[in-house]
């Protein structure tokens, strides 16, 4: 029984790994679409999201199967439940990257952003590119050091996001209303990518800590959730 | 064993019921805050969200306990897993209602919205007030007729949401940039409340249908998810 359980869990872990690599690629691709008007990159993010969604559904189904057939308890049970929640979080991250790619595709060949917002969004994207790579490392190695870095650094993204809103608020905002809407919505999608990354990192810390209640993610996604 | 499982499941179902009533109250309260500048209502939505979050955590914990101790299979197992997912969805809905209440509190005693956007947002709120009441009925009675109504009517909210974006895009938008940001973000929070309601309704249909695969929610929240 134990061997079967471990084999089943290994298969799910491989799929979760695959999924987080897809999410990493989607985040990088959304950045290329947003900041370099790369239409192929945008289309690829949009098209590939279906596979990420299918992986999420498959992971949840496999977890339900494991629960039914193997009756895991204690740590094993919590690993299965946490795996389901990670898959759901990564599915949302794929959707957010897709929303950014769609916004870039809508205004192609123009940028969806006014020129003087680009630098701020490039800083946000650089941050998310690093976070996306960290998510892959964290999952592959169950690496809490990397998870802690994700959690620790998120304030920086929140600060950049606040600055995009300040720019949007200023009475001499140098773009059209449509560009202002893009700044607000794309900024929010990027901030949410950061929130979901923190949520995933907290969950990995909780798994690796052996479910130390003091490490339990009390809420799913920090203070600013939807 | 069966009696214990049913008792345990009954306790979780009662908590989920409690949770959806909180979410209904939060949606109604957010509307009073947004459209009537009701500061007490705003504060109550913000304060009460902690209880909704605690209920979500408690429901997930109880479900994990049921999985560990009772090893449910087949339909029982899927009910437990679906209950966890419904709790997570309702937690997010509480957060979204809180975001709206916070936006209203920030601009009190002024409205966060420009005067000529109020009618559209009132229509969205009327829609969400009905949806919130339907969620309570749907959960209390496992009522797929009400669930189907929630799923069927969501297009109307999407249409109203599109109209808020059209208003925001117009070059003679009659408000400040801050009001434009509020129109965009509050509109999105309200649209997301609708999406999550549809997600919850689909899950209830899936439970009541005895997990007919043709009724399975293929994706968690329709086409526009984060």
Q: What is the pLDDT of residues B45-58, one digit of tens each?
A: 999 999 999 999 99
Contact across the interface for B64 and A84, Cβ inside 8 Å: no
CB contact, 8 Å: A79 with chain B? no
Put simply, whether B226 touches A (Cβ < 8 Å) is yes
Is A177 within 8 Å of chain B by CB?
yes
Whole-angstrom CA distances from B45 to B16, B31, B194 are: 18, 10, 18
Above 50 in pLDDT, residue A223?
Answer: no
The SS3 of residue A211 is coil
Kindly give, in sequence order, each residue whose CB lies less than 8 Å from that of residue B44, ignoring residues fewer than 6 positions away: B29
Q: Is the pLDDT of residue A216 over 80?
A: no
pLDDT of B25 > 80? The answer is: yes
Asked if A192's CB is within 8 angstroms of B226's CB, the reply is yes
The pLDDT assigned to A213 comes to 62
What is the predicted pLDDT for the residue at B142?
A: 87
What band does B2 get if pLDDT is binned at 50, 70 and 90? Answer: confident
Q: Which residues of B touch A165 (CB under 8 A)?
A: 181
Q: How far apart are CA A44 and CA B193, in angstroms?
A: 29
Q: Which domain holds residue B147?
A: 2-215
Per-residue tokens: B90: 């309702």
| Position A105 in a domain | yes
Res A3 pLDDT > 80 = yes
**pLDDT (0 to 100) of residue A33:** 98
> Alpha carbon A65 to chain centroid distance?
26
Cross-chain residue pair B219–A67, CB shorter than 8 Å: no
Residue A146 lies in a domain: yes
Average pLDDT, chain B: 92
Least CB–CB distance from B180: residue in A88, A99, A180: A180
Would you say residue B85 lies in a domain?
yes
DSSP, res A224: S
Contact B181 A169 (CB under 8 A): yes
Q: What is the largest CA-CA distance in chain B?
A: 67
Is A74's Cβ below 8 Å from some Cβ in B? yes
Contacting residues of B for A78, CB less than 8 Å apart:
64
Q: Flag whether B168 is in a domain.
A: yes
| Residues A40-95: tens digit of each pLDDT | 999 999 999 999 999 999 999 999 999 999 999 988 999 999 999 999 999 999 99
* Cα A17 to Cα A87: distance, rounded to the nearest angstrom: 10
- The verdict on A127 touching B (C-beta cutoff 8 Å) is no
Instruction: Identify all chain A residues contacting B95, using CB atoms and an 8 Å cutoff.
Output: 225-226
- B86-109 pLDDT, tens digit per residue, is 999 999 999 999 999 999 999 999
Is A225 among the domain residues?
no
- Which pLDDT belongs to residue B109? 97
Closest residue in chain B to residue A72, using alpha carbons only: B68
> Would you say residue B159 lies in a domain?
yes
pLDDT at A4 over 50: yes
Mean pLDDT of chain A: 92
How far away is chain A from the Cα of B23, in angstroms, using its nearest Cα? 14
User: Higher-confidence residue: B74 or B152?
Assistant: B152
Query: What is the pLDDT confidence band of residue A217, given thresholds at 50, 70 and 90?
Result: confident
Which of A67, A173, A177 has the CB atom closest to B168's CB atom? A177
Average pLDDT over residues B7-26: 96
Query: Residue B192 pLDDT more than 90?
Result: yes
**CA–CA dist B100, B88 (Å, integer):** 19
Q: Is residue B125 part of a domain?
A: yes
Query: Residue B218: is its pLDDT beyond 90?
Result: no
**Pick the residue with more confidence: A144 or B223?**
A144
Residue B165 maps to which CATH number?
Answer: 1.20.58.220
Q: Nearest CB to A169: which of B53, B67, B177?
A: B177
Share of chain B above pLDDT 90, in %: 83
Output the pLDDT for position B214: 66
Total tally of structural domains belonging to chain B: 1
Q: Do A220 and B91 touch (CB under 8 A)?
A: yes
Integer angstrom CA distances of residue B185 from A181, B19, B30, B163, B226: 9, 25, 14, 14, 13
User: Which of A77, A91, A178 is facing B68, going by the closest CB pair?
Assistant: A77
Contact assignment for B91 to A171 by CB distance below 8 Å: no
Does the structure's ipTM exceed the value 0.95?
Answer: no
Residue B68 and residue A73: Cβ atoms within 8 Å? yes
pLDDT for A5 beyond 90: no
Interchain contact B57–A (C-beta under 8 A) = yes
pLDDT at B215: 67
Q: Is the pLDDT of residue B220 over 60?
A: no
- Euclidean distance between CA atoms B44 and B29, whole angstroms: 8
Q: How confident is residue B221, by pLDDT bands cut at 50, 70 and 90?
A: very low
| Each residue's pLDDT tens digit, B129-175 | 999 999 999 999 889 999 999 999 999 999 999 999 999 999 889 89
Tokens (6 digits) for B60: 């997930």
Question: A24: closest CA among A121, A120, A130, A123?
Answer: A130
| Within-domain flag for A122 | yes
């Amino acid at each position: 029984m134990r061997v079967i359980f471990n084999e089943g869990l290994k298969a799910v872990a491989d799929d979760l790994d695959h999924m987080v690599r897809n999410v990493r690629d989607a985040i990088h691709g959304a950045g290329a679409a947003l900041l370099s008007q790369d239409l192929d990159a945008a289309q690829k993010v949009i098209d590939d999201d279906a596979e990420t969604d299918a992986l999420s559904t498959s992971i949840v189904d496999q977890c339900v199967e494991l629960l039914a057939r193997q009756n895991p308890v204690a740590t094993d049970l919590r690993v299965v439940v946490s795996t389901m929640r990670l898959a759901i979080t990564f599915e949302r991250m794929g959707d957010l990257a897709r929303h950014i790619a769609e916004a870039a595709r809508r205004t192609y060949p123009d940028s969806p952003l006014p020129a003087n917002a680009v630098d701020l969004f490039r800083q946000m994207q650089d941050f998310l590119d690093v976070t996306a790579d960290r998510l892959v490392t964290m999952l592959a190695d169950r690496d809490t050091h990397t998870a802690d870095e994700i959690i620790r650094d998120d304030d920086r993204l929140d600060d950049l996001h606040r600055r995009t809103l300040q720019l949007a608020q200023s009475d001499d905002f140098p773009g059209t209303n449509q560009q202002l809407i893009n700044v607000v919505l794309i900024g929010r999608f990027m901030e949410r990518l950061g929130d979901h990354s923190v949520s995933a990192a907290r969950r990995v810390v909780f798994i690796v800590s052996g479910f130390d209640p003091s490490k339990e993610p009390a809420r799913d996604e920090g203070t600013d959730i939807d």
